[in-house]
Amino acid sequence: MRVVFGLIIAASFLDIIDFSIVQVALPTIRNQFLVSLADSQWIVGAYGITLAGFLMLSGRAGDVYGQKKIFIGGIVVFTIASFAAGLAPSLLLLIVFRSVQGIGAAMSTVTAFAIFIALFREGKERNRYMGIFIAVVSAGFAVGSVAGGALTVLFGWRAVMFVNVPIGIAAVALSQKFLPDSGGWLKDRRLDLPGAVTVTSGLVLLVYGLTDGANVGFGALETYLPMGLSALVLAAFVAIEARSKSPLLPLAFLRRGSVMTANLLGLVLASTVVGLAFIVTIYLQQVLGYSPLWAGIGSLPGAAIFFVVGGWGASRVVGRVGVRRTLLLSTALITAGYTLLTQISPTGTYFGILPGMILWAFGASIGFPALSIAAMAGTRPGEEGLASGLINTSFRVGFPLGLAVLLTVAGATDPAPTGAANAAAAAAAGLVTGFQYALITAALLGFLGFLIALRIKEPKPWAGNQETASA
């Protein structure tokens, strides 16, 4: 059991390292390709969109064909795409390979979480191991931030892509040897490919429209046309799911307990995460003048809070006060943290933004484990991939959508990098002003999360878990 749990952590560790390592390298990539702040978000957004779009399909594929096959296949795809991304000669090709990375990450992370759900019984045991899982993954974020800075300074940004290759090869070899072979639960089911195609394309169109909105404004045809098409495609997805004999997302599952509310809250809270990391990284490097390495080191306090509080404190808080109260405390701290961060200025310091970052980290570190517990409650055999795919989709859709929304707000005052010395002060002032408005928006999203958390119900486990435990 411990070896399997270690492999589950390794897959998520790989994804988290990639996310944090690329975040630190973004300013360097942006300057090399001379692109705007809004356009550079596609380096993160393309990865996040394909990951989110393929999570539901990958989760159900694991239920049908077996989690091990999809898990290993995902790591292989991710590793090959990482190598290709490191060789990319242009921003366009880099974004294409990052999209393929997202598909591989979807396959491996969603099946890893499905294996986790099946491995541990619902209740104290699962909550305790969830804490360990969060702690180790948080350590991966810290390792990625520091390693990303060091690799970028010493070898250039391409090294942050190549570093995934040996990790991926080792993960495949160990998984092939130690993961038990198992077939799928749902022998009589087929995959809902039309549903997967419509939800993925609809999300890509939506974020594309938001990205254009940051560049040309929401009144332009380039903005509202893809967003309108997105609404139609996503509506088609709902219609397909309602009629499908083997839906990617059975609509009845959303009505069980607090599944729908928990996933909606996950979408809202996740929408503030990547935007914060992006803004802080740009602020430290392009306004305060930090090197990529020191910017990475600056993220360590937040990562340490996730490691300690999220890893060992969150499960105890949930056990003492319940899921609902934990989420109310979480959203209140997140809102307060963003409110403090709105005070950033071109003449500020790292210690000026540290209190807000710490408050946010405390809130998020207890909130995301509690959300996962609420979203997995009552999961039945054969639904591991479905439950894992749904909550991970909510998180992963929130990441790129939140980034696009916050950069849309900030982008109105984002100057393109020119390198002119006499324009540096004005560019920094404009950048910070945009970031302040974006952080106000993030605080409002945190408050919206608090209102949604009021509707969360304490999860009740599926009766089959109790029968299994007493058998």
Q: What pLDDT, in 10s, does the model give residues 409-432?
A: 887 655 555 554 555 667 677 788
| pLDDT band at 382; cut points 50, 70, 90 | low
pLDDT for 440 equals: 93
More confident position, 270 or 246: 270
Supply the CATH classification number for the domain 2-178+248-470.
Answer: 1.20.1250.20
Is the model's pLDDT at 230 over the cut of 80? yes
State yes or no: pLDDT of 408 exceeds 50: yes
The predicted-structure confidence for 123-174, as pLDDT tens digits, reads as follows 677 777 776 776 676 666 666 667 767 777 788 888 888 888 888 888 888 8
Q: What is the mean pLDDT of residues 176-180?
A: 78
Q: Which of 10-19, 28-37, 102-111, 148-157 has the lowest mean pLDDT?
A: 10-19
What mean pLDDT is predicted for residues 23-33? 78
User: How high is the pLDDT of residue 471?
Assistant: 35
Query: What is the mean pLDDT of the segment spanning 361-366?
Result: 89
At 468 the pLDDT is 37
Q: Per-residue pLDDT for 22 more than 90?
A: no
What pLDDT, on a 0 to 100 scale, did the predictor assign at position 233? 93
pLDDT at residue 418, as a whole number: 52
Q: What is the pLDDT of residue 38?
A: 62
Residue 77 confidence (pLDDT) above 90: yes
Please tell me the least confidently modeled range out of 69-73, 365-369, 375-379, 388-392.
Answer: 375-379
Query: What pLDDT sits at residue 314?
Result: 75
HEC string for the chain? CHHHHHHHHHHHHHHHHHHHHHHHHHHHHHHHHCCCHHHHCHHHHHHHHHHHHHHHHHHHHHHHHCHHHHHHHHHHHHHHHHHHHHCCCCHHHHHHHHHHHHHHHHHHHHHHHHHHHHHCCCCHHHHHHHHHHHHHHHHHHHHHHHHHHHHHHHHCCCHHHHCHHHHHHHHHHHHHHHCCCCCCCCCCCCCCHHHHHHHHHHHHHHHHHHHHHHHHCCCCHHHHHHHHHHHHHHHHHHHHHHHCCCCCCCHHHHCCCCHHHHHHHHHHHHCCHHHHHHHHHHHHHHHCCCCHHHHHHCCHHHHHHHHHHHHHHHHHHHHHHCHHHHHHHHHHHHHHHHHHHCCCCCCCCHHHHHHHHHHHHHHHHHHHHHHHHHHHCCCCCCCHHHHHHHHHHHHHHHHHHHHHHHHHHHHHHCCCCCCCHHHHHHHHHHHHHHHHHHHHHHHHHHHHHHHHHCCCCCCCCCHHHHHHHHC
Residue 219 reports pLDDT greater than 70: no
